[in-house]
Amino acid sequence: MRRHSLSSWRHTVLLGILLLTSLTFPLQVLATTAATSSKGLTFSPLRTELGIAPGTSHETLLRVTNSTDKPMVVRLSAEAFRVINQQYDYAFSSESDLAKWVWFASEEVSLAPGERKNVTATIGVPLTTEPGGRYISLFASTDTGTENDGINSRQRVASLIYLTVLGDVSRVGRVVSLAAPWFVSGQSQWSMAIRNSGTTHFQSRYEVRIQHLFGDGIVAKTSGDALILPGTVRAVSDTLPVLAWPGLYKVVYTIGLGDTPTKAETRFVLYMPPAALAVIAIIVLAVGLLLLRRRRKH
């Protein structure tokens, strides 16, 4: 009798745990959704490319938006930025003289809940500046902590300025490396590294065309672009176009290199989808078993 009572008690506890979990799980999902759906402070445009002559200035229009249900005060500032590796991770510096090239019509903006305002930033290039690329980040920041929770945190978002000081500038690109797969069974990636030895940035536009082994007929193609800063090497990767039929194909990589002529690299790829590999494996197994049976007979 005691054993039956103990078993019944365990079933009751287990049922209670399952019921509690089923009730709290939707609440947790709802809370997570509500927390991630709020964007907070937004700042646009994300990126701007400008060309400004020495001794002149340019006004650029920015937009700040309060996507929360509370009022906020937004502070505007400027910093120079650079990249620190081939993956183009950014490093910012407020000590650079580039920050002094920027001034705002108002360095502080008050936003009501859901309000959006336009602000103006003026970028002035000193007369004695050498031509070439300069890179400035405009920041909008606001305090997100409250007196009640005792947490002092700050949200900061950036709008990047890719500035070319006009004059005798160069965009000298070179393909440092190109790594392309020779065998593909499913989705596969290729990668390259591009060096810019010039004085300002350029947009490297690339295209990948998969063609029949004999002939110029295009089976599939894809394209993309990457911004390459001066004095840097950037690693770029992308996926190969998906093919429909197994076989041996020719792959042509066409890569834009600024003022340097476009580079075309040819590789070859053997495409075998999983279904084709399975069929080949079955055929090989069947032939092997047939040969083994014949050998036993002899």
pLDDT given at position 170: 97
In-domain check, residue 75: yes
pLDDT of residue 276: 55
Domain co-membership, 87 together with 193: no
pLDDT of residue 144: 81
Query: What pLDDT does 275 receive?
Result: 58
Tell whether 31 is covered by a domain.
Answer: no
Same domain, yes or no: 113 and 50: yes
Task: Output the pLDDT for position 108.
Answer: 95
Question: Which residue, of 149, 165, 181, is where some domain finishes?
Answer: 165
**Claim to verify: residue 142 and residue 247 sit in the same structural domain:** no
Q: Are residues 46 and 120 in the same domain?
A: yes
**Spatial distance between the Cα atoms of 227 and 235, rounded to a whole number of angstroms:** 11
Residue 207 lies in a domain: yes
> CB-based contacts of 38: which residues, under 8 Å, 6+ apart?
67, 68
- Domain boundary among the residues 165, 189, 215 is at 165
Of the three residues 165, 188, 221, the one that is the final residue of a domain is 165
DSSP-assigned letters across all residues of the chain: -HHHHHHHHHHHHHHHHHHHHHHHHHHHHHHHHHHHH---EEEE-SEEEEEE-TT-EEEEEEEEEE-SSS-EEEEEEEEEEEE-STT--EEEESSSGGGGGEEES-SEEEE-TT-EEEEEEEEE--TTPPSEEEEEEEEEEEE---TTTT---EEEEEEEEEEEE-SS---BEEEEEEE--SEESSS-EEEEEEEE-SSS-EEEEEEEEEEESSS--EEEEEEEEEEE-TTEEEEEEEEPPPPSS-EEEEEEEEEEEBTEEEEEEEEEEEE--HHHHHHHHHHHHHHHHHHHHHHHH-
Tally of CB atoms within 10 A around 214: 7
**In this structure, what are the phi and psi dihedrals at residue 213, rounded to the nearest 5 degrees?**
-60, -40
Residue 47 shares a structural domain with residue 157: yes
Residue 55 domain-assigned?
yes
Q: Cα torsion at 44, 46, 50, 54 (round to 10°)? A: 80
Shared domain for 48 and 160, answered yes or no, is yes
We report the CATH number of the domain holding residue 66 as 2.60.40.10
Confirm whether 81 is domain-assigned: yes
Q: Residues 47, 154: one domain?
A: yes
Q: Which of 54, 53, 56, 136 is nearest to 102 (CA)?
A: 136
The pLDDT score that the predictor gives to residue 289 is 74
- Sheet containing strand 116-124, edge to edge, reads 41-44, 57-66, 116-124, 102-104
Residue 179 located in a structural domain: yes
CB-side neighbour CA atoms (13 Å) of 248? 4
How high is the pLDDT of residue 151?
63
- What is the chain's pLDDT, residue by residue, as a tens digit (298 residues)? 444 443 444 444 333 433 333 333 333 333 333 333 347 899 999 999 999 999 999 999 999 999 999 999 999 999 999 999 999 999 999 989 999 999 999 999 999 999 999 999 999 999 999 999 999 999 999 988 655 555 668 899 999 999 999 999 999 999 999 999 999 988 899 999 999 999 999 999 999 999 998 877 899 999 999 999 999 999 999 999 888 888 899 999 999 999 999 999 999 999 987 655 556 667 777 777 777 787 887 6
pTM of the model: 0.76
pLDDT at position 147: 54
- Phi, psi for residue 271 in degrees, rounded to 5: -105, 120
Instruction: Evaluate whether residue 287 is within a structural domain.
Output: no
For 90, phi and psi rounded to 5 degrees? -95, 150
225 & 132 share domain? no
- Assess whether 152 and 217 both reside in one domain: no
Range of the domain at 85: 41-165
In a domain, 79, yes or no: yes
| pLDDT score, position 168 | 97
The total number of structural domains in the chain stands at 2
Do 156 and 177 reside in the same domain of the chain? no
The Cα angle at residue 228 between residues 138 and 57, in degrees rounded to 5: 40
- Please report the pLDDT score of residue 132 as a whole number: 98
Q: Are residues 51 and 104 in the same domain?
A: yes
Q: Are residues 146 and 182 in the same domain?
A: no
